[in-house]
Chains A and B, each alone.
Chain A
Amino acid sequence: MAVERLFKDEATEEKGERARMASYVGAMAIADLVKTTLGPKGMDKILQSTGRGHNVTVTNDGATILKSLHIDNPAAKVLVDISKVQDDEVGDGTTSVVVLAGELLREAEKLTMAKIHPMTIIAGFRMAAECAQKALLQKAMDNKQDPEKFKSDLMKIAMTTLSSKILSQDKEYFAQLAVDAVMRLKGSTNLESIQIIKKAGGSLRDSFLDEGFILDKKIGIGQPKRIENAKILVANTAMDTDKVKIYGARVRVDSMARVAQIEGAEKEKMKEKVQKIIAHGINCFVNRQLIYNYPEELFADAGILAIEHADFDGIERLALVTGGDIASTFDNPESVKLGHCKLIEEIMIGEDRLIHFSGVEMGQACTIVLRGASSHMLDEAERSLHDALCVLSQTVNDSRVLLGGGWPEMVMAKEVDELARRTPGKRSHAIEAFSRALQSIPTIIADNAGLDSAELISQLRAEHHKERTNAGIDVISGGVGDMEKLGISESFKVKQAVLLSATEAAEMILRVDEIITCAPRRREDRM
């Protein structure tokens, strides 16, 4: 007798072949979705949000695309998740990781059709991944010792990363920008100190790197527009009405005169506070919170530049670059560290006026001002630049470099193929499949560029059978080219992360033989 109902209503259960099929299909659908964005000739996607305003995003960044999708298939969610982690951890290769995992599953599907047990496939994949990683390690180049060469490596990596993005037109320019910015960090991976300001208008070429700090705020009226040798106090304090914080306090008065008195006392209090601040001997005051008109007027009288409502990041960054404390009380002027900079001035970018702090103490921070025709363009440019910055900062730490253009995949595929030949047993099928999945990445790059991929890949493979080759796909000329001469490089860390997380994800999906979906939580019908 069958059980009528084991689960709650609407909960579904899929078993064995069907479950596996569902996850393969879901994962491959996701991989196919982002596949066309891979490589320098990859296409972009338009994403329209369902939220208010139906905002449109144009991008070819894998992580951004996948983040905005509403996905119901659980296997697909695994892939979205790995791309997100790739983004957090190394910043680039978000598309590659999904595509590689998808290709691995595609191969695995064929093998399961041929009645090979998923566990055997996993064992093979694991061996293959290990072997591929070793191959990468051997071929990786490290130019840390030679700063000249290292810089050119960074430059190449930045150019390779940017070449698949919207910035590819001016990739040299932006690569230089990104390398300069990252070199200023001197090895730290804290990208917070690089500030990116987007201002619509002008062309991408008008973007520039500024060594100081730019705050997107206006200077109060009647206050000096230009200060040399500025002493800056960075604060986070209420400059509107300084409330009494003792619980239960309230004002209760019985006549208008009393109200006036208390108001006067309040004003007095504010004035005192302002006096205390002025007593620090500053000529610039930046507050995170609002500054009301009255204190602003007082500051203006004292000839102090007061900037209100700088956001959290702005404040922290400003404190970082100017080397000052973030203050909230002002009783001991001698112990508060003030920030310094050579020059504060108001500058114009396009239509907008911004405040520019130059000659700051800490050389690490800098600002990149992006210009562009539309806000979509700027958003995409920011994402691209962010990718490049992430990759560069990771490369500064782990300076090993690989060539690009499908070269690392072919190297790995070759080694994995060798391994397959040496391995007895059913696992060798899985290992072979792994190598095929690796080769599909250059295939997709070639396909996206409208090239004859079958022809190119076979040429490439033949080329790779020779010792020490640098051959990869040259998308621009449409043939096989020497990657070293073309200056196409990739970071070792990114490639390794792609390889490992893609294998991990494929393994995870392969191990599943049953999908149980709980009944979706009921939501109140909102109008």
Chain B
Amino acid sequence: MALAFDEYGRPFIILKEQEQKSRLRGLDAHKANISAGRAVARILRTSLGPKGMDKMLQSPDGDVIITNDGATILEQMDVDNQIGKLMVELSRSQDYEIGDGTTGVVVMAGALLEQAEKLLERGIHPIRVAEGYEMASRIAVDHLERISHKFDFSDADIEPLVQTCMTTLSSKMVTRCKRTLAEIAVKAVLAVADLERKDVNLDLIKVEGKVGGKLEDTELVYGIVVDKDMSHPQMPKRIEDAKIAILTCPFEPPKPKTKHKVDIDTVEKFQTLRQQEQKYFDDMVQQCKDAGATLVICQWGFDDEANHLLMHRNLPAVRWVGGVELELIAIATGGRIVPRFQELTPEKLGRAGLVREKSFGTTKDRMLYIEQCANSRAVTIFIRGGNKMMIEETKRSIHDALCVARNLIRNNSIVYGGGSAEISCSIAIEAAADRHPGVEQYAIRAFADALDSIPLALSENSGLQPIDTLAEVKSQQIKENNPYYGIDCNDVGTNNMQEQNVFETLIGKQQQIMLATQVVKMILKIDDVITPADY
């Protein structure tokens, strides 16, 4: 730890308790940071691509998660290292922004760091490296734009969308029925999409899972599925043309927020209070009835007495419905969420063509289906699967597929997958590097090398000879001037990704490159790491 001295030669304390802190400076700091970043990338590297392996993660509570979704792995990994955390953030932001390519972005950043280390060893200043990377990334992004394709789809012809989602799903555990799932995802997105404004609100798609059955039983419900049942076992299980009152107030006597006491000191008071109480329940049910509701969905619970009254008046009810679900139901049925009984009016009721309760398996699990809603813009993807892990993994995969479909609706440009876009960018950057004067040239060339690492990892995971394959594909691309050659991971027999129908969204790819570059730049700028001592 460096010490400073004043003019009389006395040591000068800069940091609080500095002798207990460890400190890394200069090249050492760079190297430590780079190796941490690479360690994270190394973990994810084997999960890349359709033949990527899964990771098994055991949470602090002992639950097991099996996944190959980069963002999930990193999130669950409990990383302690600061730089490691940066990488986790990186994959998370890719997840938020794009929803797919979370593994690729981390592998890319790892490769960039690896190349940077070599340059640093040769004595190139980190800032120059960072600048070179920045230039290279701009070239890559522009190049991607050039090699991208517009592709057409419409409501009637969803095939291209389905194909893209299938590419995303093919790297997941659910490849077995990627076709079905891709179709479900595309239909769900189209159901809620606003094609005019090119916008999709993914909040309107609810993904619900229930253990049991087969993956093939997964279905798309045009409506809402709620994991609840009717509050009274004898209420009707099937309601047609339901008018739904959506309440956030409990069926209970009011509880004013201000503290108060009702004193009972005479028999009369006791009796009036009793009558009052009964009236409350009666009034509440009556108000619902008067508004014309045929189904009550309530955020809170209700008393046995109220329950019976509802049952008695032939007004089916569902209790303890969560806030998010309540909102979705309100959107789907076109109803309003009503916080007070007095405000219940016929206009505020939601409408649904069919509400039914469905039971599963040998256990008494039941779920409520609300279908044929007035506003069919809310849908539910209902996942079935062999076990909880499978369902969780399917949920994550479906989420990725949904994001991809959404991105395509927002921007229908695509690039081809299988590493072809990376290889093509790498070639373009390599060519640009030679024209660039100055030290940055080396960094730009290093960037090109880093881009190669994605197809390398892909072919490695697919059990191909990585260097051979890459060299072959690269020369093929240059020779035929065709940027669609990539790694043939599935052993189909052709390297042409256009023929294989493997594509990814343009914005996803661009985002990957930009995010990875940004994080690497940030890491490269750190030259001093001060850590407090372990206590």
Contacts and interface: CB of A to CB of B under 8 A. Distances in A.
A5 B234 contact: no
Max chain B Cβ within 10 angstroms of own Cβ: one of A118, A192, A246? A246
20 contacts: A3-B32, A74-B56, A88-B212, A90-B362, A119-B463, A189-B362, A190-B359, A245-B252, A249-B264, A249-B273, A250-B262, A326-B311, A331-B278, A332-B312, A504-B386, A508-B173, A511-B173, A516-B58, A519-B78, A521-B60
B77 A7 contact: yes
B56 A329 contact: no
B1 interface: no
B522 interface: no
Given A84-B387, A251-B264, 15 more contacts: A6-B36, A74-B56, A74-B58, A77-B64, A246-B280, A248-B261, A248-B262, A252-B263, A252-B264, A327-B308, A511-B68, A512-B54, A515-B55, A518-B76, A521-B60
A269 interface: yes
A162 interface: no
A247 B312 contact: no
A379 to B, nearest CB: 18
A328 B53 contact: no
Contact of A119 (B51, B58, B267): B51
B66 A511 contact: yes
Contacts of B256: 247-248
Interface stretch (B39-47, B292-300, B325-333, B501-509): B39-47
B71 interface: no
A265 interface: yes
Contact of A390 (B51, B77, B173, B362): B362
B322 interface: no
Contacts of B273: 244, 246, 249
Contact of B46 (A7, A251, A500, A514): A514
A320 B232 CA distance: 12
Interface in B249-274: 252-256, 259-267, 270-271, 273-274
A514 B77 contact: no
A367 interface: no
Interface in B175-193: 176
B306 to A, nearest CB: 8
A123 B458 CA distance: 18
Q: Chain A interface residue count: which class?
A: 35 or more
B123 to A, nearest CB: 18
A85 B62 CA distance: 19
A329 B59 CA distance: 49
B66 A513 contact: no
Interface string A465-505: 00000000000000000000000000000000000110011
Given A244-B274, A518-B59, A328 B387 contact: no
Contact of B265 (A8, A75, A252, A328): A252
Contact of A329 (B43, B267, B305, B361): B305
Given A189-B362, A329-B312, A519-B78, A245 B388 contact: no
B311 A325 contact: yes
- Between A13, A390, A511, the greatest number of chain B beta carbons within 10 A of the residue's beta carbon is seen for A511
Contact of B362 (A23, A191, A508): A191
A19 B66 CA distance: 13
B55 A514 contact: yes
B201 interface: no
Interface stretch (A148-156, A256-264, A436-444): A256-264
B81 A3 contact: yes
Nearest to B393: A508
A61 to B, nearest CB: 14
Nearest to A265: B267
Interface string B310-328: 0110000000000000000
A394 B213 CA distance: 13
A515 B56 contact: yes
A521 B462 CA distance: 37
Nearest to A120: B463
A6 B265 contact: no
A1 B35 contact: yes
Nearest to A325: B234
B253 A246 contact: yes
A320 B234 CA distance: 8
B9 interface: no
Given A126-B176, A192-B364, A265-B270, A8 B311 contact: no
Contact of B35 (A3, A118, A246, A269): A3
Nearest to A116: B463
